[in-house]
Amino acid sequence: MDNQLTKALCANRIGDLAVKYIEALRPEEIIPAAESEAMKLLAEIKAILDDGSAGDPECFRRIDAIVDAFAARGISTSRHDW
């Protein structure tokens, strides 16, 4: 079987299992975890933007760091897709 096809089938099955697991959780279990992760991400973005060590010419680095923070959490952005 084609390696790419095998990976796609495995990813699909793992996704199905993850959804079933998440659906089995009660809202009072998953909501605090999601909110906590969101707050961590926002704090990280704020720290990047508040970093006074990067001047305006280095603004690109700040944006790149924010993009990286999103990517580390599996959130894609088209900011640097050119």
Summarize pLDDT for 70-79 with one digit per residue, the tens.
Answer: 888 887 766 5
Angle at 7 between CA 73 and CA 72, to 5 degrees: 10
In this prediction the pTM is 0.45
17-49 per-position pLDDT tens digit? 998 888 888 878 778 878 888 888 888 888 877
Helix (H, G, I), strand (E, B) or coil at 54: coil
pLDDT on residue 82: 45
Does the pLDDT value for residue 80 go beyond 70? no
Domain locations in the chain? 3-72
Does the pLDDT value for residue 68 go beyond 80? yes
